[in-house]
Structure 1
Amino acid sequence: MKLALQLGYWGATPPGNAGELVAEAERLGWDAVFAAESWGSDAFTPLAWWGSATNRIRLGTSVAQLSARTPTGCAMHALTLDHLTGGRFTLGLGVSGPQVVEGWYGQPFARPLARTREYVSIVRQVLAREAPVRGDGPHYPLPYRGERATGLGKPLRAITHPLRADLPILLGAEGPRNVALAAEIADGWLAVYYSPRLAEQYNTWLDEGFGARDRTGFEVVASAQVIVTDQPERAVADMKPVLALYIGGMGAPELNFHAEVFRRMGYAAEVAAIGRLFREGDRERAAAAVPDELVHDIAIIGTAGHVREQVARWARAGVTTLLVGCRGVDELRALSEVWNTF
């Protein structure tokens, strides 16, 4: 199993120590660093900025949102960054949710799986550069053929030759059909709120997508807080406000993919209580309603010995990379010390 650093997306201001974290992760031999986007900072620019100061570490998006840019525009970002970093870029894609897609990007959210399939197909056409790019589907028609089309659109091939036609594409997915789609059309799965307790279920979804396809080389990149500490109770408590936000506030009550993940884990009653408290504006009680067991299901928190045992358990479950957020270089170093004892 490999280690990757999750920079995430920015809050009100850029993080002050991101460059230091990236440099230390590369020095310590971590495999990759990923950046995300929501409705503020974008996922590509931080990688270009911090990646320019590195030489070895891979750079990836987790995730770039489909509705933020057209598939050809996204492919331009990907091939540009791949050239600038000497073939170190990995493109992680995700659909986000209807509140962001329709409320921020002004795009329809309907049929996310069909949109993802079309999107990835066009990105791969751009990277392959075997022929002018065409899109025959209804979501990303190329050339454009809507009612306001001039009729002058022409299929085009990228001017710049991509460095790699096989640039890795990962899909962020939480539900069974999305996970199966990742296995079918992508090079890896970006797993949000992964729990090794449900590994058999995840592998069933993946196998459905693989079909007869060879699974060799497929990445399972699982986001997880991995904290080496003699005071796990404090670290668990620190995670609860963020979990309450994602369960109760990152999505509409009628459709919240994060909440669905935890319902599938068996926390339906707790999810309902957290959502109700969060919508009432009582974020403190919403965080308190997050069970300790839920945190331990999706995170690795404890002594060095406990972390070693749990990392081995996650690896047996099929995870190939742990994508970890760290607040400072001390956390990076502490985790690396444990990692080097395997």
Structure 2
Amino acid sequence: MTATEELKLGINVGYWQRDPDDQTETVLAAERLGYDSVFTAEAYGSDAFTTLTWYAARTSTIKLGTAVVQISARTPVATAMHALTLDALSGGRVILGLGVSGPQVVEGWYGVPFPQPLARTREYLDIVRQVWRREAPVTSPGPHYPLPYPGGTGLGKPLRSIAHPVRPDIPVYLGAEGPKNIAMTAELAAGWLPLFVDPEQIEPLFGASLAGRPEGFEIAATVTTIVTDDLAGALELAKIPLAFYIGGMGAKDRNFHLDLIGRLGYAEEAARVQELFLSGRRNEAIKAVPDELADSISLLGPIERIKERVALWRDSPVTTLLIAGVRDEPTLRAIRDAVHG
């Protein structure tokens, strides 16, 4: 697995949670500074497409990505419609990031079944691409998203999109954490959206899964970034989302984020974080996240230290750093100069 020749920069503005959480100025600053992309997110609150459209209307060159749209939130055709419409309105700038989420959200929030997530993703992606390519009316034998629907009135018929996409091959990235899901991503998608990834461990942990990826395959890693002279304080802040994902973003016995942290070599520590978080001792859970873990998957501290640590990412197969947590233009400029200077 080879290192990245030219590491690109993007920003991940995450979820919209409350007013005023408009990051237009951040996005505009990133565009002025030559950042390659901006990504939005969704969980069980705001959606990714609305905020992305808001930023699309105010920008002209920066790529527009979702990290990630949850496949259980919409039928494949609905997602294809969202993406092709925004891609057309933005002049062909969309990157569709898709992910399966987890059983708590899928079954508790969206009210649809979670089992067989990999098979669901394959079927979903096939339908999405049929919509964009318009080669024939869209059909699917199922079993997860059969088209036409085999029950109901019996009047359903295959249809072709009445809209002509600007691009019939909108790039699709998949959010994946497990080896099988990452291997499927390398097979089917244009890119991978890893979360909580240590650049030094990508090859030993995921090299086999990524071995079959095509030429030009993108790896866009979201990286919590805090530029400050107070490294200890930055570590504490970086631990907050880690504790939340390890402890609260998944069921006790089925949490993909906890599993990932275990693969990184912190299984016992992650189990302790989850135990504290689920018992309501959230501050203790945050403190229980190992400093080494938080530091390895983030960019923290003075800008000179960040510049040194960027070398680890440049020596990895990651192609884009999605900077998360930075909102002001001077800091975005300093990060850009540290990466590309």
TM-score (norm 1): 0.95
1:48 aligns with 2:70: no
Match of 2:335 in 1: 335
Q: CA deviation at 1:124?
A: 0.6
Q: CA deviation at 1:300?
A: 1.6
RMSD: 1.2
DSSP-derived class of the 1:78 partner: helix
Match of 1:275 in 2: 274
Letter in 1 for 2:25: E
Letter in 2 for 1:202: F
Match of 1:310 in 2: 309
1:217 aligns with 2:223: no
Higher RCO (Cα < 8 Å, 6 or more apart): 2
Q: CA deviation at 1:17?
A: 4.4
DSSP-derived class of the 2:9 partner: strand
Deviations 1:207-239 (A, max 9, x none): 1x54xxxx2111001111133332211111112
Kept in 1, the 8 Å contact 2:10–2:321? The answer is yes
Q: 2:166 aligns with which of 163, 167, 171?
A: 163
Deviations 1:30-69 (A, max 9, x none): 0000100001100001111111010100001000000110
Q: Distance in 1 between matches of 2:87 and 2:291?
A: 41
Letter in 2 for 1:78: A
Q: CA deviation at 1:307?
A: 1.7
| Structure 1 outlier segments of 4+, above 4 Å | none
Match of 2:34 in 1: 29
Match of 1:69 in 2: 74
Q: CA deviation at 1:331?
A: 2.8
DSSP-derived class of the 2:95 partner: strand
Q: 1:106 aligns with which of 88, 111, 115?
A: 111
Kept in 2, the 8 Å contact 1:23–1:54? The answer is yes
Q: Distance in 1 between matches of 2:41 and 2:16?
A: 9
Structure 1: gaps (5+ residues): none
Letter in 2 for 1:115: R
Kept in 2, the 8 Å contact 1:241–1:283? The answer is no
Percent identity of equivalent pairs: 54
Q: 1:204 aligns with which of 199, 202, 208?
A: 208
1:180 aligns with 2:183: yes
Q: CA deviation at 1:197?
A: 2.2
Matches within 5 A, 1:179-258: 179-200=182-203, 201-207=205-211, 209-210=212-213, 215-258=214-257
Matches within 5 A, 1:132-171: 132-146=137-151, 149-171=152-174
Q: 1:121 aligns with which of 118, 122, 126?
A: 126
Q: CA deviation at 1:314?
A: 1.0
Letter in 2 for 1:232: L
Structure 2: gaps (5+ residues): 1-6
